[in-house]
Structure 1
Amino acid sequence: MRNQPKYKFFANWGYALAGLAEIWRSERSFRLEIFVFAPLLVSLFFWNFGLVWNLALVFGAIFTLVIECINSSIERVVDLAHPDFHPLAGAAKDTASTAVMLTLSLNFALWVCAICGKIFG
């Protein structure tokens, strides 16, 4: 049986905000990504890339933050399940970190394409 309370819309928003506060407090990489993405996304008002590019860049930034949250969740669950070092625990954490690295690479490629398209297009 799952240990889950009855669904309540506003209570679930509270849980989500508590999770956001937790990741903000405990994950330096999440804060760093916010501090990098916030000015980049504000700069979209000045670049005039067009709707499709703007949506792709916003989606890429949010997608990276979502994957960072999932990565942090995986790391916590692995630490809870196996506090001592185990090769599979390390592999699970490394794989989750790879997902973050791939989304950051995707963001970099999106920004390079958008800027190059603006300059050379």
Structure 2
Amino acid sequence: MKTAWQYEAAFRQEVLLCIVLIPMGFLLGNNGIERALLISCLLLVLITELLNSAIEAVADRLTQEQHPLIKRAKDLGSAAVFVALCYTVLVWGLVLYY
């Protein structure tokens, strides 16, 4: 966690977002299920970002030159983070709407 905080700007931004939104999840959820959904999707974003950062670190260690497989691995990791963020928006939107 310390390494991710030190080297990954996106991780720092997402942690700060969690610092704000996790307490809001406790307040805005009407029951335990809603609170769990609101908070767990935020944690999923952090988990996905950590895995993406790990993939990028390994890829950068292997080679600095452009390679289609390295690019694909990095793009897929970034896509996973994007899907986790979209899922978070969907969950928060549905819980707060209904």
Alignment-mate amino acid for residue 37 of structure 1 = C
CA distance in 1, matches of 2:26, 2:72: 41
Candidates 24, 28, 51, aligned match of 1:47: 28
More helix by share: 2
Query: What TM-score do you get using the length of structure 2 for normalisation?
Result: 0.94
Unaligned runs of 5+ in 1: 1-19
Aligned to 2:52: 71
- The equivalences for 1:34-113 within 5 A come to 34-113=15-94
CA distance in 2, matches of 1:45, 1:94: 33
Candidates 20, 27, 30, aligned match of 2:8: 27
* Structure 1 residue runs of 4 or more that deviate by more than 2 Å after TM superposition: none
Deviations 1:8-44 (A, max 9, x none): xxxxxxxxxxxx1110011110011111122111113
Displacement of 1:46 after TM fit?
Answer: 2.6
Paired residues in the alignment total 98
User: What is the aligned-residue identity percentage?
Assistant: 28
What is the root-mean-square deviation of aligned Cα atoms in Å?
Answer: 1.0
User: SS of 1:77's equivalent?
Assistant: helix
User: SS of 2:70's equivalent?
Assistant: helix
The structure with the larger Rg is: 1
Unaligned runs of 5+ in 2: none
Higher relative contact order (CA 8 A, sep 6+): 2
CA distance in 1, matches of 2:61, 2:96: 43
Aligned to 1:115: 96
Query: What TM-score do you get using the length of structure 1 for normalisation?
Result: 0.77
Deviations 1:80-107 (A, max 9, x none): 1122111111111000000000000000
